[in-house]
Amino acid sequence: MSEGNAELRRLAERPEAAAAEAAQVPGVAMVLFRIGSRWCAVRAGDVREIALKGQVSRVPGAPPYVVGVALLRGRLVPVVQLETLLDAEARGEPPSTLPRMIVVSCGEDEVALVAEQAHGVVELVLEAGVAPAGMQAPFVAAELEWRGRMVAVLDPARLMEVVMAEAS
């Protein structure tokens, strides 16, 4: 059974308990997604959209973690392979048609993150986060535990700084 289905069943069976649990935990709505083997989260308010199967145009001279650019809602958006940026090593040729693109906004700027899976919006408690240990990237604001997995909470502003610094 899928995790989502199991969660739905749990909510349906004990709605009062779930509501009480939610009321006790002051969480922040975050979009959860998987990049390679890592789970990441971005505040839901910073996610402009989740695009499916975008066609990406490669750009000569772009840093290795930039897959290319995608045309989304009439705007060109750089598409970033975050896994490459985190590992600082090439992972071979990425597919031209991508499973998901998490489009994150930072002011007027946008960046699309390649993700293998998008879980949707969940409530996470940021105060419970720990400083990033395994992921030393400056755009990882914290790491949280969610259902036994470590989730890297991304800071869009810092991420944009890193992308812009490398690209220019």
Partner 1 sequence: MTRVAVVSFACGHTRLCLAADAVLALEPPDAAVPHVGHLLALLPGERSGQRVLLLEGGARVRVDGPIKMEEVGGEDILPAPCAMPPRLPVLGYAGFGDGVMVLLDVPALLASAPHAEGGVT
**By the criterion CB under 8 A, which residues form the site for partner 1?**
55-62, 66, 68-71, 74-78, 93, 96, 108-111, 160, 163-164, 167-168
At its nearest, how many Å lie between partner 1 and the CB of residue 109? 5
At its nearest, how many Å lie between partner 1 and the CB of residue 93? 5
Rounded Cα gap, residues 31 and 113, in angstroms: 12
Nearer to partner 1, 61 or 148 (CB): 61
At its nearest, how many Å lie between partner 1 and the CB of residue 86? 17
At its nearest, how many Å lie between partner 1 and the CB of residue 151? 24
Rounded Cα gap, residues 32 and 145, in angstroms: 12
Rounded Cα gap, residues 66 and 142, in angstroms: 23
At its nearest, how many Å lie between partner 1 and the CB of residue 20? 44
Nearer to partner 1, 77 or 144 (CB): 77
Nearer to partner 1, 44 or 59 (CB): 59
Whole-number CA gyration radius for the chain: 17
Rounded Cα gap, residues 3 and 78, in angstroms: 32
Nearer to partner 1, 39 or 81 (CB): 81
What percentage of the chain's residues is helix, strand, coil (to nearest 5)? Answer: 25, 45, 30
Nearer to partner 1, 77 or 153 (CB): 77
H, E, C per residue of 73-122: CCEEEEEECHHHHHHCCCCCCCCCECCEEEEEEECCEEEEEEECEEEEEE
Task: Find tokens 């909510």 and name the residue.
Answer: 11
